[in-house]
Structure 1
Amino acid sequence: MAETGPVSGYGGSNPVQTTTKKHSDLGKNDFLKLLVTQLRFQDPMNPMEDKEFIAQMAQFSSLEEMQNLSKTLSQQADLGQLSQASSLIGKTVAVRTEDTHFAGQVVEARRMDGEIKLMVKPEGTTDGTLVPVQIQQIEQIA
């Protein structure tokens, strides 16, 4: 069986980072509320010009498309990591965590706690124990 060296960079090029919405970020609902409020309270003697309204609608459309693109890119990154993890199914790997170092066979890949984990059956176990492992914790693939 051929052995490979450490894979510290394996999977590290596409880290999936979840971001939480900051309270100061404006979403499309906030943008629409501002626009409706602006229209409601505009001076009837000096209404908003068509150009301004069209510009604001274009900004709204751009905001919505950027949000859709961000969601799509996040999904693509997830698929890339799942593909990397799936390529290790059936392989024997050496794993190092903060607490332990062990070898075992990768039996499946799944999403847990918002990230892709490999389920590894440690060598010498017969009780069906599976240990969830992050791709970055794999030292060697045999």
Structure 2
Amino acid sequence: MTSIDPSLYLKNQQTHTSGSSTLEKDDFLKILMTQIQNQNPLDPMKDQEFVSQMTQFSSLEQMTNMSTAFQSFTEQQNMSSLITYSGLIGKEITYSSKDQGELKTDVVAAVTQKEDGTYVELQSGSLVDVQDVTKVGQKNGSGKQET
């Protein structure tokens, strides 16, 4: 009987990382195909095991697709609020000033989308969170605000 070369033990093998510690659906398919190609012909994989693994793959693929769709939906919702608030451009708004705690009035020059929310840029140069707007009106020629 011959002995096994100790350098072949798993604990002595070097591990190689590809940069990512998560398995993608392509990785799962590669593992499954390798497993099928290298199975013992005298003891092939049972149908139930194969179906179970295919079900797991299908679930993984559906979760990945849902995650992608949800991310796309979130991005569209952010753009939707920008389009919604663009109707404020040229309107006179009243907003609560956080630094002084008083109500101020100014005309909206632009709408800006940032990571933390949607803001209106005023003609005075101020940037106001749309959550702070308390009143919106149409400015008429006499300088009085119409609501």
Residue 110 of structure 1 is matched in structure 2 by 112
Distance 1:118 1:85 in 2: 8
Structure with greater helix percent: 2
TM-score for both structures, normalised by structure 2: 0.59
Q: Give unpaired runs (5+ residues) of structure 2.
A: 1-20, 138-147
Residue 30 of structure 1 is matched in structure 2 by 22
Q: Give unpaired runs (5+ residues) of structure 1.
A: 1-28, 123-129
Residue 121 of structure 1 is matched in structure 2 by 123
Taking only aligned residues, the RMSD between alpha carbons, in angstroms, comes to 2.9
SS of match in other structure, 2:89: coil
SS of match in other structure, 1:55: helix
The letter of the residue matching 1:118 is: V
4+ residue runs over 3 A deviation: 31-36, 38-41, 43-48
Distance 2:123 2:96 in 1: 14
Instruction: Give the superposition deviation at 1:86.
Output: 0.3
Q: 1:12-64, CA deviations, whole angstroms, 9 ceiling, x for partnerless residues? A: xxxxxxxxxxxxxxxxx73439948x8689x9667572202211110111111
Residue 15 of structure 1 is matched in structure 2 by none
Residue 135 of structure 2 is matched in structure 1 by 140
Q: 1:112 to 1:87 in 2, by over 3 A?
A: same
Q: 1:56-108, CA deviations, whole angstroms, 9 ceiling, x for partnerless residues? A: 11011111111111112102211221112101000000010322331101000
Q: 1:98 to 1:86 in 2, by over 3 A?
A: same
Distance 2:24 2:87 in 1: 45
SS of match in other structure, 2:99: coil
Alignment of 1:70-109 (within 5 A): 70-100=70-100, 101-109=103-111
SS of match in other structure, 2:58: helix
Residue 62 of structure 1 is matched in structure 2 by 62
What number of residue pairs does the alignment pair up?
107
Distance 1:59 1:72 in 2: 20
Select the structure with the greater relative contact order (CA < 8 A; seq sep ≥ 6). 1
Q: 1:86 to 1:102 in 2, by over 3 A?
A: same
Q: Percent identity?
A: 15
The letter of the residue matching 1:75 is: E
